[in-house]
Amino acid sequence: MKSSEEERGYEALSPFELKNKLITMAQTHHERMMLNAGRGNPNWITMTPRQGFFQLGLFAVEESQRKPHRPRLGSTPEKKGIAGRFEKFTEKHSDAPGVGFLREAFVYVHDELKIDSDEFIREMVDGILGDHYPVPDRMLISSEKIVHKYLEQEMCGGDPSPGKFDLFATEGGTAAMDYIFTSLMENKLLHRGDKIALGTPIFTPYLEIPRLNDYEFVELEIHQNENSSWQYPDSEIEKLADPEVKAFFLVNPSNPTSVSIQESTLETIGELVRTKRKDLIIITDDVYATFVNSFRSLAAVAPLNTILVYSYSKYFGATGWRLGVIGIHEDNVLDKMITALPEKDRKALYERYSTVVLNPDKMKLIDRMVADSRSVALHHTAGLSTPQQVLMVLFSLYCLIDKKGEYKKEAQSIVTHRFKRLYAALGTPHPENQYGTRYYTTIDILALARTRYGEEFAAHLAKNYEPIDFVWRLADEKSIILMDGGGFDAPSMSVRVSLANLPNSAYEAIGKGISDLLADYYNSWKSSKS
């Protein structure tokens, strides 16, 4: 089989499946070290909250042993006086890693959030022991208040004016998306064949989900403009004014282009849903928000229409923990849309949720999501595991007590340093963009070819090579794994580089590898002309 024919076969796959083929190819060259910048999981681990987590676990075990059932069997910790015992524990172990953080967090929760100390510590201790199902199942009470404050700080620029959101703790952002689409369909807010808008380029599974038989949505792409630093032109946003567009689904900051929506566009969308499109459903995945300073989510400007998804995975190096959250405003339009459904649909939904609550008609969408996440019949065991919720709380508190934002500066500095090294080795100025996260970068190979070697050569590349040929040869000839940007609906023959998951020095090798391979294409073309 010719290489181009094989490449065409793989172009039908998701970039994530193509990546597996590229890895196999790269690994055949044992004389070279493989550099896989295709994954988005970070290679840093946030230590202090984790240290606090395990110290809290030791305290929790002590509490359980105060009144044991048997020598090896503890009991459920007592709430009365537990905060005082926790303070004594922190004093006794004041030099242990993470204990100072726990003490600061404890003071913050009491003094600034006004949460009862015994209630908070009892919830954390019981949660970390994991001896009960999550109650409430949607999210533990104090945990929800603390995570809400964190989201207010990071998603709304610290502005509380958007109001209160009900939160549902989930097994990462991917589970959140699954639950959202399931419940929107089950509750007749979306139907097979509906038109939905996708902010593109976008994380590939979000392109693939609407096409599944479960949904069969008609996709309308809202395109970012590469020549405007990957922002959405007003002409693209205006597409959302079409009443046939039922929902707008986006990643913000974007993946793979790695920029957040500029303020003027946020305001345009906010105005649109307040006037022409009061019924537009917005679903925004904001996992990369913390890599942009003064970030504001669409949940901040269109709170009543927006379903917010956030994951702790990238910022805290916690992809394996599966920590996500869904936020829906307590006075949202979706609940109102459910009450306005035809009688036949409302009756069917009443029957669906009648085993969960006494009056299903008054059940909020976010609570329906909790039930749907366990196929309704298993609702009594719903909810994110309580130890996961405790770590989510500690991550949140770590940033809430960090008044100067020192952790944010550290996390951002890692990807920024790698970003600059990559472009320096590539031999081209790195993009300057106040809205850029630098968590990923998308390099348009054809645009680079045009700038470096001229329009004729760029046209030759586009005409004579398959779109994935560049990433294919990078893997085969340089043992460098990058994601095919075209699979994200980014420009053809573009590549996505993750700045998160490799040592700093690797990015010099990647930049040089891209540059050298492009030169190989050029020299081959030049020789063929002579």
> Phi-psi region for residue 167, left (φ > 0), alpha (ψ -120 to 50) or beta?
beta
Question: What is the distance, to the nearest Å, from the Cα of residue 245 to the centroid of all Cα atoms in its chain?
Answer: 24
- Go through 383-399 and write b for each residue having 16 or more CB atoms within 10 A of its CB, e for each that does not: bbebbbbbbbbbbbbbb
Could you give the angle at the alpha carbon of 304 between the alpha carbons of 301 and 306, nearest 5°?
Answer: 70
What's the gap between Cα 498 and its chain centre?
A: 14
Give the sheet arrangement for strand 306-311, strand by strand: 165-171, 323-329, 306-311, 281-285, 245-251, 195-200, 218-223
**In sequence order, what are the residues at sequence separation of 6 or more whose Cβ sits closer than 8 angstroms to the Cβ of residue 427?**
511, 515
Question: Mean pLDDT for each consecutive 10-residue tract of the chain (530 residues)?
Answer: 60 67 71 78 97 98 93 93 98 98 98 98 98 97 98 95 97 95 97 95 84 86 96 98 97 96 98 97 98 97 98 97 98 98 97 95 98 95 97 98 97 98 97 96 96 97 94 93 89 95 96 97 91
Distance CA 150, CA 391 (A): 13
Give the number of other CB atoms < 10 A from CB of residue 354.
13
CATH number for 160-386 (one of 3.40.50.720, 1.10.15.40, 3.40.640.10, 3.30.930.10): it is: 3.40.640.10
Q: Do the Cβ atoms of 220 and 239 come closer than 8 Å?
A: yes
Report d(CA 14, CA 38) in Å as an integer.
13
- CATH level 3 topology of 3-31+406-529: Aspartate Aminotransferase, domain 1 (3.90.1150)
The DSSP call for residue 302 is: S
pLDDT for 291 equals 98
- The ranges assigned to domains in the chain are 3-31+406-529, 47-129, 160-386
> Helix (H, G, I), strand (E, B), or coil: what is residue 138?
coil
Cα 28 to Cα 476: distance, rounded to the nearest angstrom: 8
Contact 324, 175 (CB under 8 A): yes
Architecture of domain 47-129: Orthogonal Bundle (1.10)
What is the distance between the alpha carbons of residues 300 and 152, in angstroms, rounded to a whole number? 9
Q: Would you tell me the crossing angle of helices 47-64 and 386-400 to the nearest 10 degrees?
A: 130
Q: Which residues of 286-320 are buried (b: 16+ CB within 10 A; e: fewer)?
A: bbbbbbbeebbbbbbbbbbbbbbbbbbbbbbbbbe
The reported pTM is 0.94
Q: Give the per-residue pLDDT at 2.
A: 43
Q: How far apart are CA 407 and CA 315, in angstroms?
A: 10
Nearest-angstrom CA–CA distance, 3 and 87: 66
